[in-house]
Copies of this chain bind each other. A is one copy, B any other.
């Protein structure tokens, strides 16, 4: 699950990336994960310096879990990993876009994307079906 060594950014490049990110007071930056080919927005999570460095070095997306207070290697318990295709930073450095190849589903509910609730006339509607039994996601 690692990228080819020739594609791993050098330490200088990683330092340059980290130097361009404007982390918030908690040392975090918002990260959007997008399926690289379909364009589907899968989820939003948070990264700290270590999560960015690990993601760039390994090619497998790693976030910072605010609820657990530790690095969160996406898929570590569910198997639904995200392979990094491209790392982008926005104009003012306070948001990251991760173009990824998502294995299976991004959402713990068993849906492809976490953004499955849409506002329609009568209220929230679930517009994305469950494709994997969520109980099956966390059995290993």
Q: A: which residues have CB within 8 A of B?
A: 6-7, 9, 12-13, 16-17, 20, 30, 32, 34, 38-41, 43-44, 56, 86-92, 94-95, 97, 107-109, 111, 114-119, 121-124, 127
* Residue of A91, A107, A108, A122 with most chain B CB atoms under a 10 A cut-off: A91
Residue numbers in B under 8 Å from A118 (CB-CB): 86-88
A134 to chain B, nearest CB (A): 11
What separation, in Å, do the CA atoms of A43 and B30 have in the docked complex? 11
Main secondary structure on chain A at its contact with chain B? mixed
- CB–CB A115/B87 < 8 A: no
Among B90, B94, B114, B119, point to the contact of A9 (Cβ < 8 A): B119
Among B39, B86, B114, point to the contact of A40 (Cβ < 8 A): B39
- CB–CB A91/B119 < 8 A: no
Residue numbers in B under 8 Å from A32 (CB-CB): 32, 41, 44
* Residue of A89, A92, A97 with most chain B CB atoms under a 10 A cut-off: A97
